[in-house]
Structures are given as structure tokens and as C-alpha cells.
Structure 1
Amino acid sequence: MHICYIHGFLSGSAAVKSTILKNYIKENRSDLTFSAPDFPDTPKEAHDALIAYFENLTKKYEKIGLVGSSMGGFFSTLLSGVFGFRAVLLNPCVHPQDYFQNLIGDHVNTVTGERFTLKPQMLDTLKELDASITFNPCKIKVYLQDGDEVLDYKKSLAFYDKSEIVLMHGGCHAFTDFIDIVPEVLDFLENKN
């Protein structure tokens, strides 16, 4: 099975959780393969890059599981619906257009070094992508930490109410102690639990 980490906004393939997951698989699960694509931070370009990436990846791997964090959780939900992948979401972003309206303007992704501008019309793209989401709740497991200082975890509780949800007290948006749940994350993606 191939495990793919989908990073969040202003992040990249070398994100802390991506590195933790990659190293865990390398050291403990030689039967699995891993990748973490870099993709643009702007919504349409991110969507198009991810769809193209997975159209290609599905030619190479029969079984793919996703781990998506924050905005990567949003895209993982969308990709799960399009391709039928199982996905684990970590403090996922729900209805990103609600958050991004406060982020209009110039940004630098400190992980990738990319400079870009979020424009008001990009909120329409996010609304369209959000409205297009359909997914099988049984194929998604959500981990939330109620100490998330960026996103309101209650939105995820409502949106993913038919999926399995693990609500942890404390923590933060970056997801504290991710390494502790990696084995059960992989179990879910492999459909072992």
C-alpha cells in the first residue's frame, strides 16, 4: 500500500508530520511506500496539481491511503470522494472559504519559499470545491485536538459526524504527539480496524 501525506496551507512535503510519518514507515513498515507531494498554496492550482498527481499515482499503486492535515484534510476529503481513497484527517479545515477571507493578500510559504497572492475571487473557487465534496464517511477517520488555536474543531465534528472521530483534549493546530497515533492511522488506512 502507498501512503501519501497531504500538507496544509503554507506548508510543504517536508512538514514535521510528513517527516514523522515518512520516518516511521521507513523504520517500521517496509511493506508500505510513502510520498508527500508539494503543491501550490492557491486553491485552483492546488486542486489541479493534486488531481493530476493522483491520476498518475493510481496507475502505479493499486491501494493508496491519505493523511491530510488542516487544508490538506480538506483536499484529502475531496480526493477521497473523487478516487475512493481511505483518508485520515488531522485537525482538518472545513469550509475553508470562511477562514481564507481573512487571508487575502500577499504570502510567503516559509517551507517551500514560494511567494503568492490570495485574491478575493479565489474564495469563489474554495466555495465551488467545498460544494463539490461528496465522500463515503466510512472511508474517513478524523483526529481532532480541542486545543486547536487556528480552526474550530466543532465544525469538523458537525461536518464529519457520520465518520469515525477521535477527539483529544488539549493539543494544538499542529497536532501534538502525532507519532503516538501513527500505528492506528496506518491500521485505518489498511482497513485493519
Structure 2
Amino acid sequence: MKKNILYLHGFNSSPYSSKAEQARQYFQDNFPDINFICPQLANSPTEVLLQLEHILKSDSLMGVNNSTWFLIGSSLGGYFSHYLANKYQLSAVLINPAIKPYSLLEHYIGEQINPYTNTVYQVTEQHMLDLKAIEQSAPMDSDEKKNNYLIMVQTGDEVLDYQQAVEKFKYSRLIIEQGGNHSFVGFDKKLPMIAEFFQL
């Protein structure tokens, strides 16, 4: 069965972020038969979900029901990854994941520029409502689903409160590292662990 890894970057990031590039290179070098997918995510949460559903159901990738999918999500990408993993019962690795992104991103309402793509776009109040709606629409993780997650956080995360992720995923596999930052220092050294978690 075909295997796909879907990597979801964070807010104002891109497929060319250092973690995305490190993951792409690692899986290409060590698991060349696996399809590594890292799209440039849309700026609207609603559009992101449509985009991701389209990828998961793409005929060329054999669809979510006819191939094996693994998720890696960083920050806001972790929020979307959790939603998809819950909905489709997929394994997911969440790196310094955003738990309540609408609380953080309300401080970014207004014009933003993506530093990777130079795209100018607007963060709106509606985006915050859409993010809340995603949380409210997702069913609670059942006990068996909790085994689907590997959560990696660093206590030095200067953007998010890592304890929110620890509390939300306290029954899942947790890697809590002292120090570090929001980008997750030493991510490349964790890639073999991620491959092992996915049982590649």
C-alpha cells in the first residue's frame, strides 16, 4: 500500500522552512518509496481544510482510504494535523503544536507578509472564528486514538505555552525537552524517532 507523509507548516511559514526541508531530505534519503508532501498552506483556515481534504482524497495519491497517511504538523500545522488525525484515525507527530491558536493569532489581526513567499494577506476576525469552529467540530479523542500521537515540545518555546500541549495530550506519547525554542532546536535529530513512531 502506498505511503504518504503530509507535513503541515506553521503560521506565516512555508514548505521551505528549515524543519520542512530537514524532514523532506531525511525521508527522501532513507525512505525513497514514501511520498513526502508539504504544501504551501492557504491563509484562511477554511481554505486550509479544503486544501487538505483535497490532498487526502486525491486520486493520484490513491485517497485516504486506499493508502497509508502519516501527519507531521508544526505549531498551527499541528492544530490542523490533530483535526485530520482525529477525523481519519491517522498517526500524527505534533511539534510545539498550537492548542488554542485563535487566542494567539488575534494579536496578528490585520495585514501580514509571509517572509518566505512575500505574499501580503489579511488576518481577520473571521479567521479566529473559523479556528474555533474547527476545535468545536472535532470529536474528543477516544482512548485508542490517543496512541496515534507523538507530541514533541520544548519548554523554551517563546511563542506558545508548551504546558497547554502537555495537558491536552497527557495520555499520548510526549517528548518534553528543557530549553529550546518555538522552532524546536535539534529537530533533525528526532527524525529517526518519528520514522520509528510511524513504523516505516
Structure 1 residue 119: Cα displacement: 1.2
**Aligned: 1:35 with 2:40:** no
Deviates most, 181-190 or 42-51: 42-51
Residues 34-183 of structure 1 mapped to structure 2, 5 A cutoff? 34-56=36-58, 57-59=61-63, 62-134=67-139, 135=141, 136-183=145-192
**Does structure 1 conserve the Cα–Cα contact (< 8 Å) formed by 2:8 and 2:41?**
no
- For residues 125-147 of structure 1, give each alpha carbon's deviation from its aligned partner in whole angstroms, at most 9, with x where no partner exists: 11111112234211111000000
Identity of aligned residues (%): 29
| Paired position in structure 2 for 1:25 | 27
RMSD over aligned Cα, in angstroms?
Answer: 1.5
Q: Distance in 2 between matches of 1:161 and 1:132?
A: 21
Give 4+ residue runs of structure 1 displaced > 6 Å after superposition.
none
Alpha-carbon distance between aligned partners in 2 of 1:91 and 1:12, rounded to the nearest angstrom? 16
Q: Does the Cα contact within 8 Å between 1:66 and 1:189 map onto a contact in 2?
A: no
Gaps of 5+ in 1: none
With the length of structure 1 as denominator, give the TM-score of the two structures: 0.93
**What per-residue deviation string (whole Å, max 9, x for no partner) do you get for residues 7-63 of structure 1?**
111011111111101111122222422111112122111122112221214528611
Gapped regions of structure 2 (runs ≥ 5): none
- Residues 77 and 133 in structure 1, CA contact (< 8 A), matched pair in contact too: no
Do the aligned partners of 1:90 and 1:143 also contact (CA within 8 Å) in 2?
A: yes
- Structure 1 distance, partners of 2:125, 2:34, is 41
- Which amino acid is the alignment partner of residue 154 of structure 1? Q
Residue of structure 2 aligned with 1:12, choices 8, 11, 14: 14
